[in-house]
Amino acid sequence: MSFKSLGLSDSLLHAITKKGYTEPSPIQTKAIPPILERKDILASAQTGTGKTAGFTLPMLQILSESKQPKRRPIRALVLTPTRELAAQVYENVKEYSEFLSIESTVIFGGVNQNPQVRALRNGVDILVATPGRLLDLYNQRALSLSQVEILVLDEADRMLDMGFLRDIKKILALMPGKRQNLLFSATFSTEIKQLAGSFMTDPILVEATPKNTAAELVIQKVYHVDKVKKTSLVTKLISQGNWSQVLIFTRTKHAANKLSEKLTKNGIASLAIHGNKSQGARTKALEGFKNGTTRVLVATDIAARGLDIPLLPHVINFELPNVSEDYVHRIGRTGRAGASGEAISLVSHDEHDLVHGIEKLLRQKLQIEVMEGYEPSAAPPAPKDEPRRSSGGRKPDFRKGGSGGGQGPRSGGQGGQRRTDGRDGGDRRTEGKSGGFRKSGGGQRSSGGGTPRGNSSGPRSGGGAPRGNSGGQRSGNSRPNKGNRD
Ligand code: AMP
C-alpha cells in the first residue's frame, strides 16, 4: 500500500516524502479513504500509531480542494486534551501543508493569548486548540466557529478523563450541524460512545488491528521494593545501566518534582514535566530530553500524554498509575519506531492491588522480581479476589526466589517473585498491537504505542456500534483528572 494509492494529492505526497515516510501506517490506510469520502469516522488509535497524519492528510486535501473563502474562516477544528498534544498536532499540520495554500494556528492556555488572537485575526483555515482556551477566546469574540466543516476530537477519552465533557458539548453547539466529524480515542468507554452517538452520523469504525505476530517487543519488569528505597533503586538502575534517555512516571506533580530534584542531586540530569509547570518550562524540558542534555524526564500521566519522543529505550513507573489503562499508555512509550524497549515498574507494598488490575487488563501475569540489596520488608499481599494461600507457618523468604517456591503472590502461573541482581535480562516480552508503521529501510515494526495483546479496546469495523470492550473502559477507580487543564 502506498500513500499515492490512498488518493492523496501530489502536494501532500511531496510533504510526506519530505518527512521520510515510505508507506502508510495501518490507521492511515484505514482512515484516509473514508475521510476523503467525507464520512464521519470513529477511530481507535493512540499516540505512536501515526494517527495525526491519519486525520491531517485527508483534512488538508479536502480543504485545499474546496473553494477558498476570501477571508479565511476556521474551516477545520482539531481539539486536543493537552497543550503538548496541541503543539505537536499543529507542527504536523504545518509540515504536511507546506506545499498547500492553507493557513493554520494553535491556541492553548498557560501562555499569553495576544499572539494567538493576532494569528486568528489574520485568518486561519485550520485551528488546533485545547477546549479551555478555545472557549475563552470565543467568549472574547476572538474567533468564530460558524464555518467549521471538519471537527477532529483527538484523544477523546483523555479529554473526558480531564473533565472536558461540558466544554466539548458547549463547543459542539457553536458549530454548524452539517459538518464532518472525526473522533480518535485510545479507549471506548460508555461515555465516549454516548458522546459519539450524540453528534456523529453513521460513523465508520476504524482501528489499527494486529497485523502479524513478529511484533514489537516491550520487555516488562516489575521490582518489589520498599517505597523509601525507590529513589535509590532508580538511581542504581540508571547509573549502572548507563541509560541516557529515561522517561519516569509518577502519579503526582509533587512526586515528579521531588524525584527529579533527588536524581539531579545524585548526578543524573533530570527535569520534571507536569501541569503546574509553565508552558515555557515544559517545552524546554522536552527539548532538553530530546537533544540529550536532560537524561531523565519525570512526568505525570497527563503531561506525558501525546509527547512525541521516538526511540525511547527505557520507561520507569516510579509509581504505578491508578488507572490500569495508563500503564498501557506508559509502556507504549518504549519500543517505538521499530526499537524494542524496556518498561520497569517499581512496586511498593501498597501497590500490589494495582499490579493485579494491570494483569487483568493485560490478561497476562507480570513476573515480580526483587533486586539484591533492595529486598522489601514485607511480602506482597495476596490479591483480593484470590484466596490467601497458607504460608504453612513459614516466613516469606524472597531470597529463596522462584515462583515455584510458593512465596510469591500466586503459584503455578508465570507470575511470582524472584530475585535478581539486575543483570538478568529477563525476557518477559509483551506483544503489542501492530498499530504502527514500517520505518523506511528497516524491517521491524514500530510498536507505535501498541496495546499489549488482550487489551481489546475500541470499536471493531464491520460491527454496528462500537463494541463493548474488555480493556477499553476506565476502571472504577478512574477519577477525572483535572490537572493540567487548559
Ligand atoms: P502519531 O501517532 O501521530 O503521534 O505519530 C507518531 C510518530 O510517527 C510521529 O513521529 C510521526 O511523524 C510518525 N509517523 C506518522 N506516520 C508515519 C508513517 N507513515 N511512516 C513513518 N512514520 C510515521
Domains of the chain: 4-207 (3.40.50.300), 218-369 (3.40.50.300)
Please report the pLDDT score of residue 186 as a whole number.
81
**C-alpha cell read off for 430:** 509483551
The residue nearest atom 6 of ligand 1, judged by CA position, is 48
Please report the pLDDT score of residue 365 as a whole number.
84
Mean pLDDT of the chain: 78
**Residue 34 half-sphere exposure, CB side, CA atoms within 13 Å?**
20
> Residue 37 region, left (φ>0) first, then alpha (ψ -120 to 50), else beta?
alpha
User: In which residue ranges of the chain is pLDDT below 70?
Assistant: 208-217, 305-311, 335-340, 380-486
Q: What is the pLDDT of residues 166-216, one digit of tens each?
A: 999 999 999 999 999 999 988 787 888 899 999 998 899 887 643 322 234
> Residue 163 region, left (φ>0) first, then alpha (ψ -120 to 50), else beta?
left
Is the beta carbon of 29 within 6 A of some atom in ligand 1?
Answer: no
Please report the pLDDT score of residue 217 as a whole number.
61
The residue nearest atom 11 of ligand 1, judged by CA position, is 50
Distance between CA atoms of residues 149 and 76, nearest Å = 6
The residue nearest atom 14 of ligand 1, judged by CA position, is 50
pTM: 0.59
E strands, 225-281, in order: 246-249, 270-273
Nearest atom in ligand 1 to 46's CA: 2
Please report the pLDDT score of residue 283 as a whole number.
80
Q: Where are the alpha helices (DSSP H) in 173-214?
A: 190-199
Please report the pLDDT score of residue 61 as a whole number.
97
**C-alpha cell read off for 320:** 504505578
Distance between CA atoms of residues 49 and 38, nearest Å = 22
Distance between CA atoms of residues 449 and 453, nearest Å = 12
- Residues contacting residue 193 through CB under 8 Å, at least 6 positions apart: 465, 466
CA distances from 241 to 218, 261, 369 (A): 17, 20, 17
Burial 190-207 (b: 16+ CB within 10 A, else e): eebbebbeebbeebbbbb
Check: CB of residue 281 under 8 Å from CB of residue 306: no
Furthest-apart CA pair in the chain: how many Å?
A: 83
Is the beta carbon of 48 within 6 A of some atom in ligand 1?
Answer: yes
Please report the pLDDT score of residue 335 as a whole number.
63
Give me the DSSP letters along 317-336: ESS--SSHHHHHHHHTTSSG
The H or E element spanning position 135 is helix 131-139
Please report the pLDDT score of residue 311 as a whole number.
58
Mutate to test the pocket of ligand 1, among 52, 88, 438 (most ligand atoms within 8 A of CB): 52
